[in-house]
């Protein structure tokens, strides 16, 4: 469900804006000056929509349109080819996404299945409020680059640009360019296609540029930040499994999870996934440690069928199981409640007693924590501190800690700079790519509508002579594309907010 506080805040903000606008427009003394002030600044207000338009960037667009005409011709021709391919690809992608959504809706476990390439984003629901700034800035940047492509392509094709603007619809920012329609209708379909495809083409190029920057980030930050030495802790959720006097702290460098080395965030994630889906790791301890002085617990079954032997809810003891030989052919599983930190500190991991015998000169035995089915005991290595001992569901440890691959070489460097750059680039890749896909869909009111109309005029004019028939073909194609996009948005929104 959408958080009530977010809805109240958004509705209250828009109600205040709309009420102030209504009062000023209805005021006898302030109406003329207020409307003149709005017009002079290019502002337009309507329910849940604020729009600003200016001509101050027209010279910049004209300058860009005069840079190396031959190179621009090839650039926008490449955009034309990409736009046509993207229009077909977007339809295939939406059909695939719709199939995945329906499959998830009809299953009892919505997590089963392939992850969706496209997903409806609702701030405060599937977008953390702590990352709203990344989202809105990346979305606005993607929109501005999109419209820059349209403006430069239009001026290159001798179509006048009336102005550039930005808007906010509910909470989503965007940008637009106002083209002179008469000029646009006079040019050829191929020229129109170059203009209409320029937006999605520039979004695609921005997506590639952000990906390249993300890939080269370790090299660019190499003089200031080191990578490959471990995963640096940048945040620990309070009262989580990783918090506490012997837990993780901001600035710690995690280098291992059990016997799985951690050289970065990717290793951290893969190691946790590996530990969650493999049997619990055992530890080699001397046989002398299993003397009766450690108070062998009387084992009892938990509700899930697993065994426990520590009945005093101790925070320092844990139930361990091991195989005890009763003779040459008899082997019996025993349980002992033992002080966990003392038992596992500095010990080698194992799966059988043979693993211990191969690496130890003293008589050792492999003991395994006796835990509930999905619970794991994990030693987190973060030198020079002692191991952090975690008992719980491995994904909980992943959600409790934020990490980065970048370790500052100097003390004055901020830990969050690489995190900011990395996160922002990921948002630019996602949102600019999404804009390229969505705007390519042959749908009413999107770039895909004009791309499809121009494409039909360029390809069917000699085959279907009657213009009305070509328009009818385009109408039905647009109707199908609009229905496909609407179904994806509606079902995706329901999946995000209702489930």
> What is d(CA 467, CA 461) in angstroms, rounded to the nearest whole number?
8
Element (H, E) at 408: strand 407-408
Going through 122-230 in order, the beta strands assigned E by DSSP cover: 161-169, 172-179, 225-226
Which range has the worst mean pLDDT, 120-124, 182-186, 392-396, 426-430?
120-124
Of residues 359 and 474, more confidently modeled: 474
> What pLDDT, on a 0 to 100 scale, did the predictor assign at position 103?
87
Q: Which of 79, 230, 222 has the alpha carbon at shortest distance from 148? A: 79
Burial of 320 (0-12, 13-18, 19+ CB in 10 A): buried
Tell me how far CA of residue 393 lies from CA of 142, 268, 316, 357, 375, in angstroms: 39, 15, 18, 30, 5
For residues 344 and 34, give the distance between their C-alpha atoms in angstroms, rounded to a whole number. 74
pTM over 0.95: no
Do residues 210 and 429 make contact, with C-beta atoms less than 8 angstroms apart?
Answer: yes
User: What's the number of CA atoms in the CB half-sphere (13 Å) around residue 365?
Assistant: 18
Whether 294 shows a pLDDT value over 50: the answer reads: no
- Does the annotation mark 471 as catalytic? no
Cα-flanking dihedrals φ and ψ of residue 404, to 5°? -140, 160
pLDDT at 7: 83
Domain limits, the chain: 4-46, 57-218+422-498, 228-277+375-408, 281-370
Q: Which of 95-109, 186-200, 310-324, 401-415 has the lowest mean pLDDT?
A: 310-324
pLDDT, position 312: 63
Helices (H) and strands (E) in the chain, counts: 14, 20
- Name the superfamily (CATH) of residues 228-277+375-408: PDZ domain (2.30.42.10)
- Token digits of residue 356: 């211990």
- Cβ atoms of 130 and 137 within 8 Å: the answer is no
Confidence band for 293, pLDDT divided at 50, 70 and 90: very low
Name the packing angle between helices 416-440 and 447-460 (round to 10°). 40
Torsion sign (Cα): 265, 268, 269, 270: positive
Higher pLDDT pick, 326 / 12 = 12
Sign of the torsion formed by the C-alpha atoms of 174, 177, 181 and 187: negative
**pLDDT tens for each residue of 156-166:** 999 999 999 99
Distance CA 282, CA 46 (A): 66
Question: 364 — phi, psi (to 5°)?
Answer: -125, 160
Following DSSP, what letter does each residue of 351-393 receive, concatenated? SSHHHHHHH-SS-EEEEEE---TT-EEEEEE-TTSPPEEEEE-
Pair 447, 199: CB distance under 8 Å: yes
- Count of CB atoms within 10 A of residue 77's CB? 14
Backbone phi and psi for residue 138, each to the nearest 5 degrees, phi listed first: -65, -40
Order of strands, edge to edge, in the sheet holding 349-350? 331-339, 317-325, 364-369, 282-286, 349-350
d(CA 338, CA 452): 72
366-375: pLDDT as tens digits: 899 988 878 9
Q: 20 versus 352: which is more confidently predicted?
A: 20
CA nearest to 321, candidates 342, 304, 341, 300: 300
User: Could you say which of 147, 258, 422, 457 is catalytic?
Assistant: 147
Average pLDDT for the chain = 90
Q: Which of 441, 482, 432, 447 is nearest to 198 (CA)?
A: 447
Strand, coil or helix: 336: strand
Give the pLDDT mean for 52-72.
95
Residues 437 and 86 sit within 8 Å (Cβ to Cβ):
yes
């Amino acid at each position: 469900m959408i958080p009530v506080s977010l809805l109240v805040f958004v509705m209250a903000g828009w109600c205040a804006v709309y009420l102030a606008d209504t009062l000023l427009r209805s005021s006898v003394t302030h109406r003329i000056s207020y409307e003149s002030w709005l017009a002079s600044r290019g502002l337009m207000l309507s329910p849940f929509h604020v729009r600003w338009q200016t001509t101050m960037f027209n010279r910049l667009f004209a300058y860009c349109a005069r840079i190396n005409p031959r190179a621009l011709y090839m650039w926008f021709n490449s955009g034309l080819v990409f736009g046509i391919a993207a229009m077909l690809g977007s339809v295939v992608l939406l059909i695939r996404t719709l199939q995945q959504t329906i499959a998830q809706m009809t299953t009892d476990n919505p997590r089963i299945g392939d992850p969706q390439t496209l997903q409806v984003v609702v701030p405060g629901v599937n977008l953390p409020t702590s990352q709203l700034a990344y989202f809105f800035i990346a979305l606005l940047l993607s929109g501005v680059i999109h419209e820059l492509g349209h403006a430069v392509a239009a001026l290159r094709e001798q179509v006048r640009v009336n102005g550039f603007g930005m808007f906010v619809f509910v909470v989503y920012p965007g940008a637009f360019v106002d083209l002179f329609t008469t000029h646009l209708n006079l040019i050829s379909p191929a020229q129109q296609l170059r203009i209409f495809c320029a937006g999605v083409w520039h979004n695609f190029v921005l997506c590639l540029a952000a990906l390249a920057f993300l890939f080269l980030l370790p090299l660019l930050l190499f003089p200031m930040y080191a990578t490959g030495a471990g995963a640096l802790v940048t945040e620990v959720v309070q009262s989580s499994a990783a918090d506490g006097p012997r837990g993780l702290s901001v600035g710690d460098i995690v280098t291992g999870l059990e016997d799985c080395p951690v050289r970065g965030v990717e290793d951290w994630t893969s190691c946790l996934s590996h530990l969650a889906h493999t049997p619990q790791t055992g530890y080699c301890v001397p046989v002398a440690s299993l003397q009766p002085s450690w108070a062998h617990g009387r084992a009892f079954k938990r509700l899930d069928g697993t065994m426990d032997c520590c009945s005093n809810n101790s925070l320092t003891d844990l139930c361990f199981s091991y195989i005890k030989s009763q003779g040459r052919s008899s082997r019996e599983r025993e349980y002992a409640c033992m002080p966990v930190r003392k038992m596992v500190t500095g010990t080698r991991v194992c799966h059988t007693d043979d693993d211990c015998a191969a690496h130890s000169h003293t008589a050792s035995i492999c003991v395994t924590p006796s835990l509930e089915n999905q619970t794991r005991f994990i030693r987190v290595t973060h030198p020079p501190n002692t191991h952090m001992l975690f008992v719980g569901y491995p994904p909980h440890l992943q959600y409790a800690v934020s990490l980065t691959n970048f370790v500052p070489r100097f003390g004055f460097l901020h830990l969050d700079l690489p995190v900011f750059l990395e996160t922002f680039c990921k948002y630019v890749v996602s949102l600019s790519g999404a804009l390229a896909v969505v705007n390519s869909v042959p749908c009413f009111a999107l770039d895909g509508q004009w791309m499809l109309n121009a494409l039909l005029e360029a390809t069917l004019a000699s085959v279907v002579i009657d213009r009305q028939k070509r328009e009818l073909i385009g109408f039905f194609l647009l109707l199908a594309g609009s229905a496909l996009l609407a179904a994806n948005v509606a079902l995706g929104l329901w999946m995000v907010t209702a489930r």
